[in-house]
Amino acid sequence: METATAASLTNTPNKWAMDWLSWLKIATVAGLTGAIYAFIVPDLVWEWWTQEESSYGMLIPPIALYIAYLGKTKTLAAPAMESLRGLWLVALGCLVFMLGSLASEFFLARISFVILLAGLVWTFWGFARLRTLAFPFVLLATMVPLPGIVYNVIAVPLQLFASTIATNLAQALGVSIYQDGNIIHLANISLGVAEACSGLHSLSAMVVASLLLGFLNDCSIPSRILLLVISVPLAIAVNVLRVTGTAILADYQTGFAMGFYHSFSGWLVFLLGFGLLALIGKLVSTWTRRTA
């Protein structure tokens, strides 16, 4: 009995020492990460708050955390094993951060935060647990808006595409209309197809919606990829429908092309696109289950 008691007293300080050592590691890593991203993360949050097209990003972190919480049983069931291989991913995150900082590319500096977090999970928890958190990390990566170079490259072609298709559809329906670049001329008013009407602003939100629908419908990986691919042309198509509808209505009443009606039509077509995407997701999920 005395031997057991002595052993118990001997092991207790070691246990407390290990606990303190673990908390010290966590505090050190959290402090260094906070110091590195002290300006990057607040700047990203400010963009979510001030830029309408990026406002969806405010919802991503809590949703990703909630999904990770739902899968906590599966995550904790995997063995927790420290792995030095995770340091390679940590190093990649640091390298991407350095490149983004030196090149003044906000996208690289911001996305490196997600890479670094994944690397830390791999290092301290092991690859098995990181794999159970793959979807929350993929979802977390979507909170970063598109890089400026990509945005600038595809914005103008999408504007011209939306203008051309909307003009052709309106002409087919008997509306007197002609196109001059991204400007659509009607009898009483001229409409400029801005970037918001090209589908580019709603594209990111539709991509996030496709990822969430694939998760909620418990689709297979190929089905989720298919849903993700479909979300891109669908976002463009519903915005083309918005431009066409605006042109047709403005031909009868110019007030429908501006103010409240214009803003309301933006929300309406997004809800339409989301509804169509949800329907497609349900059909894809049903088809894959029947095939299986």
What's the pLDDT tens digit per position in 202-260? 788 888 889 998 888 888 888 888 888 998 888 888 888 888 877 777 777 666 666 65
Whole-angstrom CA distances from 34 to 26, 47, 55, 113, 170 are: 12, 19, 23, 10, 53
127 versus 2: which is more confidently predicted? 127
Does residue 5 carry a pLDDT above 50? no
Phi, psi (5° rounding) for residue 184?
-110, 120
Taking each helix axis from N to C end, the angle separating 200-216 and 60-70, rounded to the nearest 10 degrees, works out to 10
Kindly indicate the confidence band of residue 114, based on its pLDDT and cuts at 50, 70 and 90: very high
| Residue 8: predicted pLDDT | 45
Kindly indicate the confidence band of residue 67, based on its pLDDT and cuts at 50, 70 and 90: very high
Kindly indicate the confidence band of residue 261, based on its pLDDT and cuts at 50, 70 and 90: low
* Ranges of each domain in the chain: 37-133, 149-291
Does residue 117 carry a pLDDT above 90? yes
Rounded mean pLDDT of 258-273? 72
Phi, psi (5° rounding) for residue 180?
-135, 90
Does residue 88 carry a pLDDT above 90? yes
Kindly indicate the confidence band of residue 99, based on its pLDDT and cuts at 50, 70 and 90: very high
Does residue 129 carry a pLDDT above 60? yes
CB-based contacts of 194: which residues, under 8 Å, 6+ apart? 159, 182
Distance CA 122, CA 30 (A): 15
Q: Which residues lie across from 190 on neighbouring strands? A: 185
